[in-house]
Amino acid sequence: MPKVLDNNVLRDMTAEEIARADANREQDNIILAQMKADKDAYDALKASAKAKLIAGEALTEDEANTIVL
């Protein structure tokens, strides 16, 4: 059984604490996956903008927004 330090005393976690920790961990994983997907999409958009600039093609508004500081 997992342990927790509570007021400087190491004790077993209750079933409720374990369930809460598991739910928090799952939510964190969902958030991290979404953040990675968002970053990957932004990086792809930025690469597309760069390729179009090099080729002298018109950019979409979203592509232009990636390079505006």
56: left (phi over 0), alpha (psi -120 to 50) or beta: left
pLDDT digit string (tens) for 13-55?
999 999 999 999 999 999 999 999 999 999 999 999 999 999 9
For the CA atoms of 17, 22, 25, 30, the dihedral, rounded to the nearest 10 degrees, stands at: -140
Dihedrals φ, ψ of 68, to 5°?
-80, 125
CA 65-60-45 angle, to 5 degrees, is 65
pTM over 0.85: no
